[in-house]
Structure 1
Amino acid sequence: MKKDISFYVLHLCLCLAFMLLPYAFTSSGSIFSLPNLASNGHDRIYFLIYFMLLVFFYFNYYYLIPKVYFSKKLILYFIVIVLFLLFFLWIATVFDHPERNFLDFGHGNPPKGGMPPPKPMDLRPMGGPPTQYGHTTLVYLIGVVSSLLFAINIRLQKVEKDKMKSELSFLKAQINPHFLFNTLNSIYSLAIKKDDKTADAVVQLSELMRYIITNANDDVIALDKEINYINNFVQLQKTRLGNTVKIDYVVEGNAFGKCITPLILISFIENTFKHGVNPNQNSDIAIRITIVGDYLTLFVSNYKVQSIQSDSGIGLQNTIERLSLLYPNNHVLKIDDNQENYTVILTIKVG
C-alpha cells in the first residue's frame, strides 16, 4: 500500500530534529546554535556521528528487526547490536581524538609537548572517554529501544488487522449462502403456485447474485449500489408476496459519493420479511432509509406474526458482529423487541 506524503514529511522533520539535537542548549548560553560545519571540526564530528546513528536506526527498523529479531535469532541480533555499538564508539574516538585508545575509559594524559588540559572555565564539550562514550551510547540505545518498540507495535497492529479480516471473511462466507437459500425459497414458492411472476423473480435473483459475486468481498462499495441491491431484494419480496403484505418502503437523501460495507444493511431488512409475514395474519412491514450528510439511518419495523420460517438468525447475528468490527465508533444500533412489534434503528457513518 502506498504511503501518504504526510508519512515522508513527518519522517523528514523527525530526522532534521534528531540531526540538530546536539546543537541545542549550547555552552554559549543560547538555546540553540546552528552547526558550523565549515570551520568547526567538533560540529562536523557530531554531525557525522548523528547521521550514522540515524542511518543505523532505519537499518535496524527495516532490516535487522524484521529479518533477524522477528525470525527468533535473538542471540545473533544482540551480538550485531553490540558490535555496532563498539563500532560507533570507535568512530567517535577516532574522529574526535585519534591519539586516544578507544578502550581507554580514563581521561588520559596529554602527550609530551601537547596542549595543557582545559582551564576550569572552559565548559565546551571535549568528547572522548568517558563523556563522548556515555553520550554516544545513550543515543544509540535510545534508537535501538525505540525502533524495537515501534516495530513491535506495528506488528501487533498488523496481527490484529489480519485477525479482523479473517473474522470478516468467515462471517461473509456464512452470510452469502444464507441469502441464496432464503431467496431460492421465495422463488420456489412462486413456482409451486405456477405464478406468472416467476420469470421476473428469476431475473431479480440473478441481479442479487451478481451483486454478491462481484461486490460482496469488497471492503467498501458505493452506497447507491448497496441501495440498488436492497431495491431488488424488496421488489423480489413484493413479487413473491403480492398484495398479502403491506410494505412501506422509502429511500430518502442523496447517496452519491457515499460508501458502505457490502451487505451490512440487508440482514435487518431480510429479517423483517422472515418474521413479519404470515398469510393467515395481517402483515405490516415498514422500511425507511434516510441519508443526511455523512450518516445513514435505517428504520425497519414489522408487526409480529407467527413466523412460518424456522431460522437460527445467523445472518442477523453476523451483521451485528460485523458492525462491531468495522464500525466500532461509527454506528448506533437500537433494537426494540416487544410483544407486538420488532423494530430496528441503525445509524451508520457512510461519508
Structure 2
Amino acid sequence: MISPRPPEETGAFFNRPTVRDLIANVLMLLFFYVNYYLIIPRIYFRKKYLNYFIVVTISFVLIIVLPSLLTGEDFTANTRGPSPASQMMQGGMPRKPQSPFIMEVRHHIYLFCVVILFSILLQVNRRFHQSERDKTEAELANLKAQIHPHFLFNTLNSIYALSVTGSEKAPDSIVKLSEFMRYLLKDAKENQVLLSKELDYISNYLDLQSSRLRDSVRINYELSGSPGQSKVAPLLLFAFIENAFKHGVNPEEDSQIDIRISMSESAVELLVRNNKVVINNMENSLGIGVSNSQDRLTRLYPEKHKLAIESMPDYFLVSLSLELT
C-alpha cells in the first residue's frame, strides 16, 4: 500500500520495487497457508524437523528470488552505495556495496520468521483444542456406555418378572423395550436430543416399573410446562430417575418415589425424591448413574446447571436446574 517512491513521480504505484514487493507479499501469504494446512501437520508434527527445515529454507529462497526474476531485476548486481569520499567526510570507513539479493533477505527475513512462528503457534493451539474436544467426546461416550448396560439389565429383569407371573403386560413391556433400544441405538448417540423424546423415554420407563412393582411402590409423577423444541443431552434426566428405582425400592416393603419435572422456554427443573430402604442387608446409596451424570453435567453444561443432592435420614433428594438450548 505504501510506495517506495514519492507519489508525485509518474508510475509511483507500478514501479519495479513496488511490484516486486507485492509479489513477495503474495508469496509470503501463500506460504503461510501452505505451511499451516500442509507442511506443519504432515512434516513438523511428525517430528521430521530436518525435512521441515529444508522445505522452509527452499520456500524462503523462492520468496526472495522469484519476485526479482518475474520483475526482470538483476539480483546478482551490486547496488550503488554512498561514495567512499562521502563516507570519509562523515568519519566512516568505505563499505562494500550489497547486492539486491542480500538486501531482500534482510528485508524479508523478519517477516518470514513471524509467519513461521505464527503459523506453528496457531496449529499447536488448534491441535490442543481438538485434542481436548476428542478427549471430552471419548469420556462422554464412555459414560454413555456405562449407563446403557445398567439400564438394560434392570429392564430385562422387569420383563422377566412379568413373564414369571404370567402378566398380560409382558408383551407390552417387550414393545416398550424395543422402543428403549431404538432410543439407545439411534437417538442416544447424538450429543443432544429433543426434550420431548427424553420425556417419552422416562414415561415409558415409569409405566414399565409400575407394572413390575405393582403395589410395592407408589410413584408420584408430575409434569408441567411444554418441552417445545428444546434439546437436552440424552439420558441425562433419566439417570437420576433410574437411580431412584435402583436404590429406593425394596419389594418387601412399601416405597415411594416422587418425580416432578417442570419446563419453561429455556430451562427444565427436575426433582426426584426416594425413600431410603435396605436392600440385601445394605442401605442404599447413590449409584454410578448419578456419578456419571454429574460428570456429564460438568462437561456439557458448565455454569448452566445447578445440582443439589441431599441425603436425609429417611430419603434422598435430587434437585436439578438446567438451562436448555
TM-score using structure 2 length: 0.82
- Give the direction of change, closer, same or farther, for the CA distance of 1:43–1:109 in structure 2 (3 Å limit): closer
Identity, % of aligned positions: 36
Residue equivalent to 2:24? 49
Rate the CA distance shift 1:205–1:129 in 2: closer, same or farther, 3 A.
Answer: closer
Secondary structure of the residue aligned to 1:242 is helix
Equivalent of 1:61 in 32, 36, 44: 36
Q: 1:49 to 1:280 in 2, by over 3 A?
A: same
Range that drifts further, 40-49 or 168-177: 40-49
Q: Determine the C-alpha separation between the residues in 2 that align with 1:171 and 1:240.
A: 27
Larger mean Cα displacement after TM superposition, 261-270 or 308-317: 308-317
Structure 2, unaligned runs of 5 or more: 88-98
What are the equivalent positions in structure 2 for 1:169-208 lying under 5 Å apart? 169-208=141-180
- What is the aligned counterpart of 1:86 among 61, 72, 86? 61
Task: Tell me what 2:296 maps to.
Answer: 322
Matched, 1:156 2:128: yes
CA contact (8 A) 1:96 1:128 kept: no
Q: Where in structure 1 are there 5+ consecutive unaligned residues?
A: 1-19, 29-35, 118-126
With over 3 angstroms needed to count, the CA separation of the structure-2 counterparts of 1:95 and 1:200, relative to structure 1, is closer
Q: Which stretch shifts more, 320-329 or 284-293?
A: 320-329
> Contact 1:295–1:347 at 8 Å: present in 2 too?
yes
Structure 1 runs (4+) deviating above 6 angstroms are 309-312
Aligned to 2:48: 73
* Aligned-residue offset at 1:224: 1.0
**Residue 317 of structure 2 is aligned to residue 343 of structure 1:** yes
Partner Cα separation in structure 2 for residue 80 and residue 204 of structure 1: 62
- How much has 1:277 moved relative to structure 2? 1.9
Of 231, 243, 263 in structure 1, the residue corresponding to residue 203 of structure 2 is 231
- 3-state secondary structure, aligned to 1:265: helix
CA contact (8 A) 1:97 1:128 kept: no
Q: Kindly provide the amino acid, as one letter, of the partner of residue 231 in structure 1.
A: S
CA positional deviation for 1:226:
1.2
SS of match in other structure, 2:236: coil
Query: In structure 2, the residue corresponding to 1:278 is in which secondary structure?
Result: coil
What is the Cα deviation at residue 61 of structure 1? 0.7
AA aligned opposite 2:76:
N
Residue 250 (structure 2) aligns with: 278
Give TM-score scaled by structure 1 length: 0.77
From 119, 123, 127, give the equivalent of 1:147.
119
TM-fit CA distance, 1:311 = 8.8
Give the whole-Å Cα distance in 2 for the aligned partners of 1:237 and 1:254: 24
Q: Does 1:297 align with 2:272?
A: no
Aligned to 1:3: none
Relative distance call for 1:296 and 1:312 in structure 2 (3 A) is closer
Number of residue-to-residue matches in the alignment = 307
Give 3-state SS (helix, strand or coil) of 2:129's partner. Answer: helix
Whole-angstrom distance in 1 between the partners of 2:174 and 2:142: 28
Tell me which amino acid in the other structure corresponds to 2:289.
G
How many angstroms does 1:301 deviate by? 1.1
1:121 is aligned to: none
Question: Structure 1 pair 234/37, CA: closer, same or farther in 2 (3 Å)?
Answer: farther
Report Cα offsets for 1:268-295 as digits up to 9, x if no partner. Answer: 0011112222344442211112222222
Q: Which amino acid aligns with 1:253?
A: G
* Alignment-mate amino acid for residue 175 of structure 1: I
Amino acid at match of 1:98: E
